[in-house]
Amino acid sequence: MTTTTRSRGGIFTYENGLLLILGISFGFAFFDRNAAGALIPFIDKDIPLTNTQIGLLSSLLSVMWAIGAYVIARWSDARGSRKPFLLSMLLIFSACSVLGGFAPNYTVLLLSRMLMGLVEGPFLPVCLAIMTVESSEHRRGVNAGVMQNFFAAILGQTLAPLILVPIAQVYGWRSAFFIAAIPGLLCAVAVWLWVREPAKTAVATPGAVASADDGRHMGLFDMLRVRNIWLCCLIAIFAVGWFVMGWAFYAAYFANVVKMPPETMGRVMSVLGLASAVCGFGAPWLSDRIGRKPVMILFTFAGVLTPLAVLYMHDTPAVLSVFMFLGWLGSGAFPLFMGVIPGESIPRRYSATAMGLVVGVGEVLGGFVIVTLAGKLADMSSLVTPMLIQIGCMLIAGVLCLFLVETAPVKVRAVAAQTAAAKAA
């Protein structure tokens, strides 16, 4: 059904069109994922929630996200197909948003979020696997960052609170969930019409630090023997925990502790999306030029600023917004450790599985275990506790980044040239 062909030049290339469609699609997947966090103050008035239950809405979605990310992404690799999976996932997670809007109680709401996580989890690895095949080498990092962060930031983080909060104020939170489902259905039509199945390939990724693909099967434990893969898994645990905690508890903290008006809260929360949009392009672009490792180190440590701002700068919304913006630049590391670095560290035909593995480990141990623990501790103490845990998470992630092996093609080739020159001398 697809009629798209590669470009004759300029900006109208298949690579750019694919990036636009997949980026917007993942952006609206993230819009659906973040909808519950933005609507918590409104849901709480209809279905009373404890801090533990608030945490579970995000953390159990993360568990299912993890299961889907690895199992379904591996299924996609095994079948050697991508497009049918994209279409199915778009339709199902849109339906889950509608189901959430009809939820009569907490149990049904939670189940709808868990099913949504199961089909949204593999969406990113499958999209990144497609972009890995279709991207120009010098744009691999930028394309991954734009697809994962830029559109997710604009649609899922910036627009989600700005659109959903006013809708919930006027029409109720259920209507907000219904409206959130519409874009996913439109994206499914776009994927069906214009995205083609990528060519199958068993070629190693140019610049990868792993050995070339010799046809040997790589199982789970084979992947975990690759240094960058297990390091990215560890980084994902703490970085995903940091990220999910922010979206799970910031709105509750502002509403219940700071007593911030909903309009102000929506504007402040939207700053997170703007930061992700900027770093979603900036961090991968910078990593294509100076290397993945230094960018990872810089942006993960920056993530400490956001919870510090929430705790100590909430009296002045303008100042709070500035420092939340600077700290949330830490999300610029996500397309690198979730997609680019794993994809450059092993043969390309296993890229979706490797990315799904990193996402899965991060979502289970970070998005579920750490966030659930944070919710329980908040019930025992206060909502200050999740902010302190956030700070610790990004400090640990930053330290782990110090041990990564560089994979950026420009840096790998430079090192290889220097090594060859030294041997020849």
Instruction: Decide if pLDDT at 271 tops 70.
Output: yes
Confidence of residue 73 (pLDDT cuts 50, 70, 90): confident
pTM beyond 0.75, yes or no: no
Tell me which of 167 and 419 has the higher pLDDT: 167
Identify the pLDDT of residue 200. 62
CA-to-CA dists, residue 1 to 77, 84, 293, angstroms: 22, 12, 41
Amino acid making up residue 148: Q
Query: Is residue 123 exposed (0-12), middle (13-18) or buried (19+ Cβ within 10 Å)?
Result: buried
Mind listing the pLDDT tens digit for each residue in 378-407?
989 999 999 999 999 999 999 999 999 998
For residue 399 the two structure tokens come to 């330290």
H or E stretch at 197: none
More confident residue, 79 or 111: 111
Minimum mean pLDDT range among 107-111, 200-204, 418-422: 200-204
What pLDDT does 60 receive? 86
- In CATH, the number for domain 14-410 is 1.20.1250.20
Whether the per-residue pLDDT at 345 is higher than 60: the answer is yes
pLDDT digits (tens, 9 = 90+) for 134-174: 877 677 777 877 777 778 777 877 788 788 889 999 999 99
Pull the structure tokens for residue 9: 């030049």
CB 132 within 8 A of CB 140: yes
- For the chain, the domains span 14-410
pLDDT band at residue 215 using 50, 70 and 90 as cut-offs: low
Whole-number Å distance between alpha carbons of 210 and 207 = 9
Give 10's pLDDT tier (boundaries 50, 70, 90).
low
Asked whether the predicted pLDDT for residue 209 surpasses 50, the reply is no
> Can you tell me the distance from the alpha carbon of 134 to that of 63, in angstroms, rounded to the nearest whole number?
30
